[in-house]
Amino acid sequence: MARDQATLERAFIALGETTQDARAMVRAELERNSPQLARVAFLKLAWQLIIDEDARRGDELAWIESWLRWPRTQGKPATGVGGAIERVLASGADPDDLTDIVRAMQFDLLFNLCETLDEQGLAELRAGVPEDLHIGWRLYEVNAGGAPTRAIESLHESVGAYDPSGREGEPRQRAAKKTKPAPSAKKPAPPAKKPAAPAKKAAPAKKPAAKKR
């Protein structure tokens, strides 16, 4: 299929780009020979591997239910990741907090993987290898026959821009839920005071001495 402006613009819009962004990407494709269509498609697909923070199945978040579904259908206790999730939730953790933690770690992994594809940090590995043995890689666009055509470079710089939430990988800013303070340990009652010693009886008054006559 011809890669003319109208065809490319329709393709970008089909991938979810706005008309304005699609036209800018078409210009990059045609004027700078930059593989923008492959870049957008890769990042869109990569973000589908990160948990959807809002998707639910029944009363549960979908990603949590997916880890617990099999042991439930088998009537067996969850083990491994599923068991860990159950223990964390049983301790009183908020499922949304757990979701934010997992999603942030997945985003970090995706970002770091894209940096690796862009050869970030490769210089340190090359330092210990003989100079005549070149180590390197690239993520390439390929043609219909599977042959590489154009390298997709600086991929990590665009990862955040394709976050479906629009937050560029940042976690949600949710208000902290009020929790009841843990009951404080009661202070031991002070030891009972010893009963006061009975007051001493006053000594009887001495009789006045008889006057001498």
Task: Specify if 70 maps to a domain.
Answer: yes
pLDDT tens for residues 22-53? 999 999 999 999 999 999 999 999 999 999 99
Task: Specify if 11 maps to a domain.
Answer: no
Task: Specify if 200 maps to a domain.
Answer: no
CA–CA distance, 9 with 24 (Å, rounded to integer): 9
Say if CB 82 and CB 68 are below 8 A apart: yes
Angle between helices 95-117 and 36-47 (to 10 degrees): 150
Task: Specify if 40 maps to a domain.
Answer: yes
CA–CA distance, 147 with 102 (Å, rounded to integer): 36
The pTM of this model reads 0.77
User: What is the percent of the chain with per-residue pLDDT over 90, rounded to a whole number?
Assistant: 70
Task: Specify if 197 maps to a domain.
Answer: no
- List all residues 6 or more positions away from 151 whose beta carbon is below 8 Å from its beta carbon: 35, 138, 139, 140, 141
Chain center to CA of 122: 26
Residue 103 belongs to what domain range?
A: 35-162
User: Count of domains in the chain?
Assistant: 1
